[in-house]
Amino acid sequence: MNDDRKLRVGIIGVGNIGSAHARSIYEGKISGMCLCALCDTDAAVRQSLSEKYPNVTVFESSDALIESGTVEAVIIATPHYYHPPIAIKAFGHGLHVLTEKPAGVDLDSAKAMCEAAKKSGKTFGVMFNQRANKLFSEARRIVSSGELGELKRVVWIITNWYRKQCYYDSGTWRATWAGEGGGVLLNQAPHNLDLWQWICGMPTSVRAECSVAKYHHIEVEDEACIFAKYKNGATAVFITSTGDYPGTNRLEITGTMGKLVLEGGKLIHHKLAMDEREYRLSADNVKNPVQIFETLDEPYQGHAAILENFASAVLYGTPLLAPGEDALCELEISNAAYLSAWKNERISLPFDCDEFAAKLEKRKAASSFKSADKEHKLSDEYNARWNTNW
């Protein structure tokens, strides 16, 4: 930032993550932002916000905040179903929007949100905080520069999203079809699904197995395995779970010119001096040198980086690290994975959004969650479990 301009923001939904954003902005830790409004539908939360942030106006509905004229931008940190309707309303009132992930529950409503963003001409970002991790941006640079050759395979075992039953019990909306709309694929793994497609591009089809309530007393899946295919024949395997302890976080990307392994806070780049396809078929005994380069993860604060980048995008036109429309990609993968598991078949992208909506609707109708249920709160500190865990 090159001057003292501050973007006036309001936060809608001040639970776990909304409180953490509120606190860091209020305490002046986010350059380019100041906290001017807060909103939560829970009266007890509003009471506590008024005590904690006496100079900040607290609203009881997102409509009231958006229509108040107190802010230039909103951060949406409600349960996922509300992200698109609140964002659409905010864009309609000329506000910039930074939404929490996932973009929504179903691709269609997330697309409508992107359309509203485009129409408004306002800045639209999504909180993919793990994009701020240098290891992932370096992997992306290597793959997109062609250094890794042609993509052969992606394997991501991301099973260290461990959650205990008390986490699921901490909010009545959690892990229900009607309140949340999905499980580990929709709540925890969006970060990894986004990074996967951000680094390697979108697959063309997915086949998935989603294990419902395998480890917890919940309505949705707490484990999922996706087997995806790419246009060029490359394959991808993505395994995620909230029931493994200790879990694993290992991403391996193989190309014809080498391999990237991200594990334990390190990026290891195995480099081939010759394309493997050429080497494989060469008649003479050509030596196949492999060089290994290591990059170490550096301590990073992903949420703050995205907040500052968003403010800078609005104030100075800085490119967004996580533009809102990018969030459609990971949601397309997770929606297709659900559809695949529900139909027990491989799903090609783009998939049939109406069929997805009808099948989700059935699950919502049988859900234990009723919208009048009360929410519960956890902490207001950025939690280590929201960052990249190796």
Ligand X SMILES: NC(=O)c1ccc[n+]([C@@H]2O[C@H](COP(=O)([O-])OP(=O)(O)OC[C@H]3O[C@@H](n4cnc5c(N)ncnc54)[C@H](O)[C@@H]3O)[C@@H](O)[C@H]2O)c1
Residue whose token pair is 């479990």: 385
> How far is 227 from 220, CA to CA, in rounded Å?
20
- Provide the minimum distance between the beta carbon of 81 and ligand X in the complex, in angstroms, as a whole number: 9
Q: Which is nearer to ligand X, 282 or 383 (CB)?
A: 383
| Shortest CB 335 distance to ligand X, Å | 16
C-beta closer to ligand X: residue 78 or 160? 78
Residue nearest to ligand X (CB): 15
The residues binding ligand X (CB under 6 A) are 12-18, 39-42, 45, 62, 77-80, 82, 100-101, 127, 129, 171, 187, 375, 377-378, 386
CB closer to ligand X out of 68 and 205:
68
Residue 120 vs 387, nearer CB to ligand X = 387
Shortest distance in whole angstroms from residue 233 CB to ligand X? 34
Q: Which is nearer to ligand X, 254 or 309 (CB)?
A: 309
DSSP annotation of 100: P
The least distance separating ligand X from the CB of residue 106, rounded to whole angstroms, comes to 14
Nearest approach in angstroms of CB 229 to ligand X is 28
Contact partners, residue 156, CB within 8 Å, separation at least 6: 192, 196, 236, 237, 238, 239, 250, 251, 252
In 3-state terms, what secondary structure has residue 11?
strand
Calculate the alpha carbon distances from 358 to 76, 176, 191, 288, 353 in Å.
Answer: 26, 17, 26, 53, 9
CB of 302 to ligand X, least distance (A): 8
The nearer residue to ligand X, 221 or 375, going by C-beta atoms, is 375
Query: DSSP for 314-381?
Result: HHH-PPPSSBGGGHHHHHHHHHHHHHHHHHTS-EESS--HHHHHHHHHHHHHT-S--TTPPP----SS
Nearest-10 Cα torsion for 311, 316, 320, 325:
90
Note whether 18 and 75 are within 8 A (CB): yes
